[in-house]
């Protein structure tokens, strides 16, 4: 992730999803902990399964472009991009499966 000029507004979660689509376990959560704008990476180390990644911005302006050129990218262990983006408003969410 590369934050915009207001990194403390951004948070993200990764939740494991069970067979009926409900969240079952929180694997990672970051919420407004970045104080300095910049690039950050996190290795979560998820076991196989279905997950939901959600990124949020408390000011509903995403992380690009009016207040800096931020972006995010989620990859698997092989480096395959599962989701990426920048302009998302209040939040963006995607479900992905790891095998």
pTM: predicted TM-score of the whole model, two decimal places: 0.83
In-domain check, residue 39: no
- 55's enclosing H/E stretch is strand 49-57
Residue 1 belongs to some domain of the structure: no
Q: Give the C-alpha separation, 98 to 89, whole Å.
A: 27
Q: Has residue 41 been placed in a domain? A: no
Is 44 inside a domain boundary? no
Q: Which two tokens stand for residue 30?
A: 């970051």
The boundaries of the domain holding residue 85 are 7-34+49-98
Give pLDDT tens digits for 23-75.
677 776 777 666 778 888 888 888 898 999 999 999 998 898 888 889 999 99
In the chain, the number of structural domains is 1
- Mean of pLDDT over the chain: 86
Within a domain: 29: yes
The neighbour count for residue 79, using CB atoms within 10 Å, is 6
64-65 and 68-69 beta bridge pairing: antiparallel
């Amino acid at each position: 992730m590369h934050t915009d000029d207001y990194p403390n507004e951004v948070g993200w979660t990764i939740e494991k999803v069970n067979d009926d689509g409900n969240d079952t376990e929180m694997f990672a959560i970051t919420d407004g902990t970045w104080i300095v704008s910049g690039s950050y990476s996190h290795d979560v180390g998820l076991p196989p399964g279905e997950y939901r990644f959600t990124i949020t911005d408390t000011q509903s302006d995403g992380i690009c472009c009016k207040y800096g050129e931020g972006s995010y990218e989620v990859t698997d262990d092989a480096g395959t991009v599962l989701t990426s983006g920048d302009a998302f408003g209040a939040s963006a969410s995607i479900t992905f499966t790891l095998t």
